[in-house]
């Protein structure tokens, strides 16, 4: 069974906790991870690229010069793609790149990503995270004490805490996410998963 170090918010090591076997103990299915990550990335694309075809270029429709006698190649319109400022051949147009995969595939990808991090011992658990006001220095001090400074950390919380969120958002490499919103892409992007103790119980309740 995979385990993770348990810290308090002062950065003191309190021991270890067992990670849920149903989420962190399974095999890593790379094919499913590939499909899920490709879907998440595709759904983030705006698809707003746009270029004009020759029919959309604002030029006079008159011939640039006469057909014969100039010694140059024939030319009918200034909007021709071979002319500077002319239209584009098969230009990109706004489109939707998004697609979906079955819910079971997303769930399996999530479990595969968690199993991958658990196998790499890249999971840390923290307890008693609370702040009376946003204090970035306090959150940074915890990361330093826990040996997580300079790493890409995905901080997973059971519920939204505005003070904790505002304290972590200014730290480079730290991302805040709710346990119920976790997905394979965010997990794989992080070097370390930092769970609150409540969040660890929450993901087992939601995804296991």
Q: How far is CA 49 from CA 43, 88, 90, 92, 202, in A?
A: 15, 13, 13, 6, 40
Cα distance between residue 96 and residue 200, in whole Å: 35
Top-level CATH class of 3-39+100-207? alpha beta
pLDDT value, residue 3: 86
Neighbours of 28 (CB within 10 A): 15
Per-residue pLDDT of the chain (208 residues; tens, 9 = 90+): 788 889 988 888 988 988 989 899 889 999 999 999 999 999 999 999 999 999 999 988 899 999 999 999 999 999 999 999 999 999 999 999 999 999 999 999 999 999 999 988 899 999 988 888 998 999 999 999 999 888 999 999 998 989 999 999 989 999 999 999 999 999 999 999 999 989 988 888 888 6
pTM: 0.82
Domain ranges of the chain: 3-39+100-207
pLDDT for the residue 191 = 94
Among the residues of the chain, which ranges form H helices? 21-24, 30-44, 103-119, 136-145, 162-168, 184-189, 197-207
């Amino acid at each position: 069974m995979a385990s993770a170090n348990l810290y308090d918010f002062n950065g003191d090591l309190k021991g270890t906790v067992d990670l849920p076997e149903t989420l962190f103990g399974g095999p890593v299915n790379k094919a499913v991870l590939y499909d899920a990550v490709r879907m998440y990335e595709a759904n983030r694309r705006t698809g707003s690229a746009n270029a004009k075809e020759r029919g959309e270029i604002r030029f006079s429709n008159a011939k640039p010069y006469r057909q014969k006698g100039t010694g140059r190649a024939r030319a009918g319109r200034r909007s021709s793609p071979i002319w500077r400022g002319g239209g584009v051949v098969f230009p990109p147009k706004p489109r939707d790149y998004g697609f979906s995969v079955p819910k079971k595939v997303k769930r399996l990808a999530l479990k595969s990503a968690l199993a991958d991090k658990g196998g790499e011992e890249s999971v840390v658990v923290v307890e008693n995270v609370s702040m009376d006001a946003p204090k970035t220095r306090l959150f940074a001090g915890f990361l330093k004490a826990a040996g997580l400074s300079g790493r890409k950390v995905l901080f997973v919380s059971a519920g939204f805490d505005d003070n904790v969120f505002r304290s972590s958002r200014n730290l480079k490499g730290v991302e805040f996410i709710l346990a119920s919103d976790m997905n394979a892409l965010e997990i794989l992007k992080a070097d370390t998963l930092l769970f609150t103790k409540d969040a660890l119980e929450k993901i087992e309740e939601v995804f296991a």
